């Protein structure tokens, strides 16, 4: 029987299902994707995982290019619209690239599958005024306020992914806190500058907040919970959400601060290659999306100040 014609509620192979959950967790916490988007990705990925399982694939390492091509063909023959087929491919491709970044795969079975032509959405970002408001909502001197202020300042000052920020260890900090080592996807390390305000926030957390939760224990991670354990991605995401709520902002995630970091640098005249390096993008094409935002900013200035704007 054709794998695509069997019931959609067949059990998911455990290894395939576990990777889908890891990808969705990363997409929710790091990328801040909306619930509806995550639900769509779940449906697409579970459909493919069931199809692959019925074809005898028990792990993502067993999925090859022909599987992807055949699956998309089955979806078309089943009456799926071309836009739906394109979305299915995008979902599988995003999961595969996540697994490549995590070091769980060494090859991309979607690499030679023709990419759908899809409109590319501009990343959302905050205004500098919004960022100021967001970074001012934890004025207290208690350990939690000191930690959360340092975390938010670091996310914005360095353009760090949330997983990179919570992964910072105390030995990643240069003595004068002028630069910071971030460990990105695939454990690639990069060095990024730390601004004065972020430096001050981290120093206060190290001096007045962190010792209250370590209680003399040696813990390598910079950001910790009340019990002295490393701060998790979900914990960090919730603290950003709490700050956004207090600042009267909506739809703010850790990734919003990363987007804002890149946008504000380009609007200030930073070189695209430098921004690429600070973001840890492997390809300049990934960073180029921000040039659209920068172009809109420049056009707005032209309309505002040019006598014939």
Residue that wins the pLDDT comparison between 83 and 9: 83
At 244, list the tokens: 């956004």
Residue 115's pLDDT band (cuts 50, 70, 90): low
Average pLDDT along the chain? 84
Residue 123 lies in a domain: no
Q: How many CB atoms lie within 10 A of CB 233?
A: 19
Domain identity same for 137 and 96 = no
Q: What domain range is 225 assigned to?
A: 128-302
Residue 107 lies in a domain: no
pLDDT at residue number 2:
42
Domain identity same for 64 and 192 = no
- Which residues, in sequence order, are bridge partners of residue 189? 183
Confirm if 54 and 6 have CB atoms less than 8 A apart: yes
Query: What does residue 174 show for φ and ψ, rounded to 5 degrees?
Result: -70, 145
Domain identity same for 137 and 276 = yes
Domain identity same for 288 and 142 = yes
> What's the total number of domains in the chain?
2
- Which residues, in sequence order, are bridge partners of residue 173? 180
Q: Name the residues annotated as catalytic.
A: 161, 185, 255, 258, 281, 290
Q: How many CB atoms lie within 10 A of CB 214?
A: 12
pLDDT at residue number 7:
44
> In angstroms, rounded to a whole number, what is the distance separating the alpha carbons of residues 269 and 68?
42
CA atoms within 13 A on the CB side of 305: 6
Question: In the predicted model, what is the mean pLDDT of residues 131-157?
Answer: 94
Whole-prediction pTM value?
0.60
- The domain that holds 218 is classified in CATH as 1.10.443.10
Residue 267 lies in a domain: yes
Q: What is the pLDDT of residues 52-104, one digit of tens each?
A: 999 999 999 999 999 999 999 999 889 887 778 888 888 898 899 999 999 99
- The domain that holds 58 is classified in CATH as 1.10.150
Concatenating the DSSP letter of every residue in 284-309 gives: HHHHTHHHHHHHHHHHHHHHHHSTT-
Q: What is the pLDDT of residues 190-236, one digit of tens each?
A: 989 998 999 999 999 999 999 999 988 889 999 999 999 999 999 99
pLDDT at residue number 307:
59
């Amino acid at each position: 029987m054709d794998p695509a014609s069997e019931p959609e509620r067949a059990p998911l192979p455990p290894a395939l299902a576990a990777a889908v959950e890891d990808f969705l967790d990363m997409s929710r916490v790091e990328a801040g994707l909306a619930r509806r988007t995550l639900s769509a990705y779940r449906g697409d990925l579970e459909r493919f995982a069931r199809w692959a399982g019925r074809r005898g694939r028990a792990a993502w390492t067993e999925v090859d290019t022909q599987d992807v091509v055949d699956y998309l063909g089955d979806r078309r023959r089943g009456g799926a619209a071309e836009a739906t087929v394109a979305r299915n491919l995008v979902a599988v491709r995003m999961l595969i690239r996540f697994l490549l970044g995590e070091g769980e795969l060494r090859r991309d079975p979607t690499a030679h599958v023709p990419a759908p032509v899809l409109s590319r959405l501009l990343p959302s970002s905050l205004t500098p005024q919004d960022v100021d408001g967001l970074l001012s909502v934890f004025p207290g001197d208690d350990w939690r306020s000191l930690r959360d202020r340092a975390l938010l300042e670091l996310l914005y000052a360095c353009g760090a992914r949330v997983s990179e920020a919570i992964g910072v260890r105390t030995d990643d900090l240069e003595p004068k806190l002028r630069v910071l080592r971030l460990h990105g996807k695939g454990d690639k390390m990069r060095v990024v500058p730390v601004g004065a305000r972020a430096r001050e926030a981290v120093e206060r957390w190290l001096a007045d907040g962190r010792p209250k939760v370590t209680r003399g224990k040696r813990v390598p991670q910079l950001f910790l919970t009340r019990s002295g354990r490393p701060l998790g991605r979900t914990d960090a995401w919730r603290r950003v959400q709490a700050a956004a709520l207090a600042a009267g902002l909506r739809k703010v995630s850790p990734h919003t601060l990363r987007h804002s970091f890149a946008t504000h640098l380009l609007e200030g005249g930073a070189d695209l290659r430098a921004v690429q390096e600070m973001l840890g993008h492997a390809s300049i094409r990934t960073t180029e999306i921000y040039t659209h935002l920068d172009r809109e900013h420049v056009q707005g200035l032209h309309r505002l100040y040019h006598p014939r704007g």
